[in-house]
């Protein structure tokens, strides 16, 4: 029997939890998360949240920094509203228990990161996301009309028009991993806050849950997606045999860390006037260039010239983790680093209130393409965007919930297993997973070419057909659902990248190395239609 809720939220990071807190004032909220509630990317965020909080800063400067980083694709109205609502986001999080670092004089300690022209990053040491996640989870768990269901993975969105109803999202089929079954969830509003898709790539700073689930589900349901060619590769992930995906925050460079070749030569000044504080796309390409030029497996991130006590106090988590787990003392020796897939600037398109192009479906956080980031995200604007649009979505739904409750629920059938059987060939999933991630890293990575993208597209077509056949033959598991989703997102990234015949922001192709004013538009995709450009 279908279960019904006012608001069905998929994802338990800053976006999903902020929405749940605000929406619980006027409705029942069910938050589904596919592992433990605190295992998403929010808890991994180190740097902080950018907001205009200092006397020497201004909304205009924050907006301009965002636009410069975004390489001409940021939506001005979105930039302005996010920047201006930034201070209120910090207040909201502090009211719900997030303990940001103070400056000793009654204000907040503010950091500076790449692309910023002022100190405006509110932080909690070098583990901001972990503190924000803790505070929001505690606050949400105190709300009697919010329930969090862990180990629940979205399978597909329910579109009512497929069952004789209106063309709107009516909920989702959800895999309850512990019970081993797929449940039917109906909702007055369905909110995707499933995060990004870093696991589409072989090397990533993202947690294992970042498999693009929300984007793939929305795409299959007919919602519009955009700008998926803009994959941000974080310049500095630790290069160490024991470090799977350990990020070294950009705040290190904000506090003076210098990128060097293995022989000790600093190189960023040759690539950008801001040197080590250049935007992430510039730094990642510079590192990629220097590694290929010198044949090195990594470069070095060096903060040893700063006082050891300062480094330990400012970056306690990184210092402790590197020392205890990897045997590296960052106060005394440079850290070997490489770029890794970090953030998806595109996603499911949304309006200024988080609404997708499919009625009934809302999308917030990294899953969404709001227009804030353009072709490259400015550091520490991600948690800001997630909270801003979560609160805006909840506020808009408050005025609609009465009407939504009065509408009849569609007659949706229960999940049908049919002739599907459990698989005894899990190697098929792991092999396909590995092949997709290597293919994307080698052909659709930091530097691209037309021929590489064509190869990637041809191979993905074969893989997707193999995965589709396997999916319908066997009963679902979380691994199978994630494989199906990364395959879908990989193909969408390839389509977007192949259609943009210029280099801009995070998309760099050797066949079209210049940025063109003719391409200063979003790359838009909808199922059944070829990619097209649309003005901002």
Closest CA to 227 of 40, 98, 71: 71
Cross-strand bridge partners of residue 187:
5
Q: What contacts 427, CB < 8 A, 6 or more positions away?
A: none
User: Are 121 and 111 spatial neighbours (Cβ–Cβ below 8 Å)?
Assistant: yes
**CA-based R_g, the chain, Å:** 22
Cross-strand bridge partners of residue 182:
175
Number of H helices, E strands in the chain: 14, 19
Closest CA to 446 of 135, 229, 299: 229
DSSP 54-117: STT--HHHHHHHHHHHTTT---HHHHHHHHHHHHHHHHHHHHTT--PPB-SSSSB-EE--TT-S
Helix axes 128-141, 382-398, angle to 10 degrees: 20
What helix, strand, coil percent values describe the chain, rounded to 5?
A: 40, 20, 40
CA angle, residues 451, 445, 238, in degrees to nearest 5: 155
Q: 399-406 — which CB contacts under 8 Å span 24+ positions? A: 400/189, 401/6, 401/26, 401/27, 401/188, 401/189, 404/6, 404/188, 404/189, 405/6, 405/188
- 280 catalytic residue (yes or no): yes
Q: Give me the catalytic one of 188, 280, 391, 452.
A: 280
CA angle, residues 504, 387, 314, in degrees to nearest 5: 80
Distance CA 401, CA 340 (A): 42
DSSP 445-462: SSSB-HHHHHHHHHHHHH
How far does Cα 81 stand from its chain's mean position? 20
Residue with tokens 């809302």: 362
Q: Which two tokens stand for residue 418?
A: 């049919």
Distance CA 407, CA 228 (A): 35
Q: Give the DSSP H or E segment for 393.
A: helix 382-398
Residues that are catalytic: 280
């Amino acid at each position: 029997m279908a279960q019904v809720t006012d608001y069905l939220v998929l994802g338990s990071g800053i976006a999903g939890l902020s929405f749940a807190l605000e929406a619980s004032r006027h409705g029942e909220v069910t938050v589904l998360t596919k592992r433990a509630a605190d295992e998403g990317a929010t808890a991994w965020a180190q740097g902080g949240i950018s907001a205009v909080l200092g006397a020497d800063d201004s909304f205009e400067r924050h907006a301009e920094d965002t636009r410069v980083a975004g390489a001409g694709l940021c939506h001005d109205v979105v930039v302005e509203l996010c920047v201006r609502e930034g201070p209120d986001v910090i207040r909201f999080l502090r009211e719900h228990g997030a303990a940001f670092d103070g400056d000793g004089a009654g204000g907040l300690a503010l950091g500076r990161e790449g692309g910023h022209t002022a100190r405006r990053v509110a932080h909690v040491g070098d583990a901001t996301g972990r503190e924000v996640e803790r505070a929001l989870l505690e606050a949400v768990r105190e709300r009697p009309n919010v329930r969090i269901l862990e180990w629940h993975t979205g399978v597909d969105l329910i579109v009512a028009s497929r069952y004789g109803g209106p063309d709107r999202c009516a909920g989702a089929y959800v895999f309850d991993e512990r019970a081993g079954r797929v449940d039917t969830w109906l909702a007055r509003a369905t909110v995707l806050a499933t995060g990004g898709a870093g696991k589409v790539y072989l090397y990533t700073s993202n947690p294992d849950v970042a498999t693009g689930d929300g984007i793939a589900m929305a795409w299959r349901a007919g919602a519009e997606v955009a700008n998926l060619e803009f994959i941000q590769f974080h310049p500095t992930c630790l290069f160490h045999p024991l470090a799977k995906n350990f990020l070294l925050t950009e705040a290190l460079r904000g506090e003076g860390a210098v990128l060097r070749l293995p022989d000790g030569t600093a190189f960023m000044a040759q690539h950008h006037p801001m040197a080590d504080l250049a935007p992430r796309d510039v730094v990642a390409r510079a590192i990629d260039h220097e590694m290929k030029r010198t044949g090195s497996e990594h470069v070095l991130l060096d903060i040893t010239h700063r006082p050891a006590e300062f480094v330990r106090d400012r970056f306690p988590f990184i210092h402790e983790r590197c020392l205890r787990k990897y045997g590296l003392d960052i106060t005394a020796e440079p850290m070997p680093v490489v770029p890794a897939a970090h953030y998806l600037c595109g996603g499911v398109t949304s309006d200024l209130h988080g609404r997708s192009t499919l009625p009934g479906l809302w999308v917030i956080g990294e899953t969404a393409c709001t227009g804030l980031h353009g072709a490259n995200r400015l550091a520490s604007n991600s948690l800001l965007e997630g909270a801003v649009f979560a609160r805006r979505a909840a506020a808009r739904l408050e005025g609609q919930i009465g009407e939504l409750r009065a509408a009849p629920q569609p007659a949706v059938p229960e999940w049908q297993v049919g002739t599907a059987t459990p698989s005894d060939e899990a190697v098929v999933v792991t092999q396909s997973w590995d092949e997709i991630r290597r293919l994307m890293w080698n052909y659709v990575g930091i530097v691209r070419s037309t021929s590489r993208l064509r190869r990637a597209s041809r191979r993905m077509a074969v893989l997707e057909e193999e995965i589709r056949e396997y999916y319908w033959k066997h009963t679902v598991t979380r691994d199978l659902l994630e494989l199906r989703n990364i395959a879908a997102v990989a193909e969408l990234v390839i389509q977007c990248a192949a259609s943009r015949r210029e280099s801009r922001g995070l998309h760099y192709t050797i066949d079209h190395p210049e940025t063109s004013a003719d391409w200063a538009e979003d790359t838009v995709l909808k199922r059944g239609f070829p990619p097209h450009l649309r003005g901002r």
